[in-house]
Amino acid sequence: MLNILWFSAPHPCFLGPGQPCDCLPPLRAAAEQLRQKDLRISQLQADLRRPPPAPAQPPEPEALPTIYVVTPTYARLVQKAELVRLSQTLSLVPRLHWLLVEDAEGPTPLVSGLLAASGLLFTHLAVLTPKAQRLREGEPGWVRPRGVEQRNRALDWLRSGGGAVGGEKDPPPPGTRGVVYFADDDNTYSRELFEEMRWTRGVSVWPVGLVGGLRFEGPRVQDGRVVGFHTAWEPNRPFPVDMAGFAVALPLLLAKPSARFDAAAPRGHLESSLLSHLVDPKDLEPRAANCTRVLVWHTRTEKPKMKQEEQLQRQGRGSDPAVEV
């Protein structure tokens, strides 16, 4: 029978008398790894037993800068519908002051009643557009800028007060933190837009949808700075932006008392007539994700057709004029 003898290498711990064992470092490293794992498990178990942190609380409204929304308005069949829609959007925005300026010699019952029922902090102003600046019968709306006197009247009130026919009579006290936005009564506004503009330091800008014959107009932004404008009509204007596409810090407006809208400005230059007094285009502050989101739309309500109403009126059976529409 063939005998096979097996020989195995000696364990490193038994290399011979006087020879050191080299297995201790690996054992110590393994033990340290186990200790670290146990420590991590203990930390995770402690985290699971710890109650979750309280959710972050939004700042109190009193700590927010005030948004002063300037809206010119004029009498027409859809005026109340437009103002109701806008007022209900504004009611969702904290720390907001509505400056509603009528194109009239004085306050009208329709607008006064709407403001009183809105629940908003407001100032009611009124100034009549001079006859030379008013649209003539058959003229398209773009021939003459509208709302110039009304916006300038709001600027006068912000700077020095006086002339309010309803609501808050006193202008902002010195040192008030705020931002001024010119919101026409026929546009559509996302609530997000107002939070985008609230912390404006100088002049902030963003795109406006459905304007200028384009899907949107707005600043072009590179590396967080405005480098141009996406527009088709007169792109060489100093500020080719829509009235709904910018907001101005209140302290800046107060520091520049000559900054006003110019009724004699060429077509499309009304915004530039104000902004040229306030800021250099390179210093504009892009908002709305670097001007990649549209949060306001230049919508227009279709003028209602009143042929049936006119026919009934000729018959003496028109709608009751005492019912406010």
Active-site residues: which are they? 271
Residue list for the binding site for UDP-alpha-D-glucuronate: 72-74, 103, 146, 151, 184-186, 298-300
For residue 198, which of 95, 281, 115, 317 has the smallest C-alpha distance?
95
Cα 290 from chain centroid? 13
With a CB cutoff of 8 Å and minimum separation 6, the contacts of 283 are: 202, 203
Tokens of 80: 């109340």
- Cβ atoms of 220 and 228 within 8 Å: the answer is yes
Where is the binding site for Mn(2+), in residues? 186
Q: Tokens for 160?
A: 């020095």
* Amino acid (1-letter code) at residue 257: P
Q: What 3-state class would DSSP assign to 133?
A: helix
Judge contact between 157 and 123, C-beta under 8 A: yes
Contacts of 288 (CB under 8 A, 6+ apart): 193, 196, 206, 207, 294, 295
What three-state secondary structure class fits 222?
strand
Q: Where are the alpha helices (DSSP H) in the chain?
A: 24-49, 79-90, 109-118, 148-160, 191-197, 250-255, 270-275, 288-291, 307-314
How many whole angstroms separate alpha carbon 183 and alpha carbon 86? 9
Contact 269, 201 (CB under 8 A): no
128, 103 contact by CB (below 8 A) = yes
Q: Do residues 303 and 78 lie in contact, with contact meaning Cβ atoms separated by under 8 Å?
A: yes
Task: Confirm if 125 and 163 have CB atoms less than 8 A apart.
Answer: yes
Dist CA 189 CA 294 (whole Å) = 10
